[in-house]
Amino acid sequence: MKKNIVLTLLMISMTLSVIGWFVVAYGQDNKNTTSMNIFFNPEMRKFVQVLQLLKESYYREVSDSQLLDEAINGMLKTLDPHSVYIYKESDLQNFYTQTTGTFGGIGFRVGVKDGFITVISPIENTPASRAGIKAGDIIVMIDTISTDGMDVDKAVSLMRGKPGTKVKLKINRFGTLIDFDITREIITIKSIPYYGMIDDSVGYIKLTQFTERVEDEFYQCVKDLFEKRGAKKLIVDLRQNPGGLLNSAISISDIFLPKGAQIVSTRSKNPSMDYVFRATQPIYKGFFPLVILVDDGSASASEIVAGALQDWDRALILGDTTYGKGSVQSVIDFSKNDKKDKGILKFTTARYFTPSGRSIDRELIKYENSQIDTNKYYTLGELNREVSGGGGIIPDFVYQERFLSKVEIDILTKQALMEFVSKYLSKNKVGENFVLNFDKKVFDEYLSFLVEKNVNVDDIKKDTTVLKNVEDQLLYEFAREIGGENLFYRVYLKKDFLVNKSLDFLKGSKDIKDMFFKLNKN
């Protein structure tokens, strides 16, 4: 309907040799509506003239729909990377599948970063994570199609497909090109794949995404840890969590903040889009010691939680600087009014800000100007300490995971780890004790297997860090295959650097001041 109406108006205006009226209005009521009246606008006249010339004189027939769709798309390409117009049938189907149904995929989230199709975060226990896809990987080719100039929806559409079929990816990882051959699966995601006690007094919750009603599940996990298992302190792991629903992020933040504390705000040129979200419930169990783990795959809702708890001096944030995705998108589905009028407009209407006033979104800061945010921001809690702006959340204790060596990448691309574990388990009946009391002889067998796969084992043995990681990855894969996520986390958390660092900060600490005292001593 929208295109037919627009085209009719344009044709009428051409017949009269004048643009009659054209109004763009956005808002909730007259008081808050921002409107732009274009009357006899020379730019609109130019647009109509171009359309008429193409209709009359272009060397071949072109459809009205094609011209208008591409015109809308062209407008949005001059804006931020999150504003897109979806109108091609395959892209529309991908959008509906993504928001309402199941799909065959490989299991990671992508976005545009610095103009490139970039992996935001692999989803745990999916083909992508098992193959070794990492946050920050740049996708340069999907099967035989280059991603140069490709938008996100097109890239996602190409990577999805029938479960059991394969997709080939060429990845640029910090200048090194890596080929992956990955089999699609039905992707199902647990929002909380694991929670439990790390030691006698410290609970742990792994949250992978902010889905609908996950706040209820999260709250029950917190209650179980504190009221039944004896937890006095807590670690919440948001690493590789790409975000999700705003309401879930607000509700989870609400658990840890006093009633009335600001959690996040949105700001826009349109006053009707300016909101302040606050905690509405009394704080749970008071100001017990709390640690939040983040990394470069923590985005959107994860950054809202981390930013709010950091700004109120409520939690110690550990890990790597977060992704920097903090913008609000509105979605208009034109087919709601007319099924024949297919097209979805997704455009940025506001930005998220932490309670101290920091903008979360790094990309929009770049679009507005290239200058670094030099403003000073201070926490609103009792420590009143300086925190950094400029997009994303910079942790209080910064730790970057090391980059994999070439030989480790070689193991991943050849899928040697999964092959060895699969073959071993097909020949040997083993249980949890096999993992909990891991025999070094099995690792020696694995190294011999890698030699057969033409992996340079000498490069593994000469670097103790690489050697340890290769052995740990073998142990983790066995744990996941034998005991699922539960056994995997029980084994993995004992070796995880940031979890152990969190325990150092939490040990003997009664509140946030004690933890920061330890941090400042480091």
To the query of whether residue 405 is one of the catalytic residues in this protein, the response is no
Q: For residues 40 and 156, which has the higher predicted lDDT (pLDDT)?
A: 156
Return the ∠ at Cα 299 (arms to 257 and 498), rounded to 5°: 75
To the query of whether residue 300 is one of the catalytic residues in this protein, the response is yes
Catalytic residue among 137, 311, 313, 410: 311
Mean pLDDT, the chain, integer: 87
Sign of CA dihedral 485, 490, 492, 498: positive
- State how far the alpha carbon of 478 is from the alpha carbons of 363, 435, 487, in Å: 40, 7, 9
To the query of whether residue 311 is one of the catalytic residues in this protein, the response is yes
At residue 478, does pLDDT exceed 70?
A: yes
Over the stretch 220-274, which tens digit does the pLDDT of each residue have?
999 999 999 999 999 999 999 988 889 999 999 999 999 999 999 999 988 888 9
Over the stretch 211-233, which tens digit does the pLDDT of each residue have?
888 999 999 999 999 999 999 99
pLDDT of residue 94: 66
Catalytic residue among 121, 191, 248, 300: 300
Query: What's the rounded mean pLDDT across residues 384-396?
Result: 93
pLDDT of residue 64: 86
Does pTM surpass 0.85?
A: no
Query: What's the rounded mean pLDDT across residues 285-304?
Result: 96
At residue 60, does pLDDT exceed 80?
A: yes
Catalytic residue among 154, 206, 233, 325: 325
Q: Which residue has the tokens 């975060």?
A: 121
Over the stretch 86-135, which tens digit does the pLDDT of each residue have?
888 777 776 765 554 456 889 988 887 767 898 877 887 789 988 988 87
Domains by residue range for the chain, with CATH: 2-70 (no CATH), 89-186 (2.30.42.10), 194-398 (3.90.226.10), 406-500 (no CATH)
HSE, CB side, 13 Å, CA atoms: give it for residue 430.
Answer: 23
* Nearest in space to 153 (alpha carbons), one of 111, 104, 211: 111
Q: Which amino acid is at 412?
A: L
Query: CB under 8 Å to 82, separation ≥6 — which residues?
Result: 327, 329, 346, 347, 348, 363
pLDDT of residue 122: 82
At residue 491, does pLDDT exceed 50?
A: yes
pLDDT of residue 497: 98
pLDDT of residue 38: 52
Over the stretch 63-84, which tens digit does the pLDDT of each residue have?
888 898 899 989 998 888 888 8
pLDDT of residue 518: 95
At residue 340, does pLDDT exceed 80?
A: no
pLDDT of residue 190: 80
pLDDT of residue 97: 59
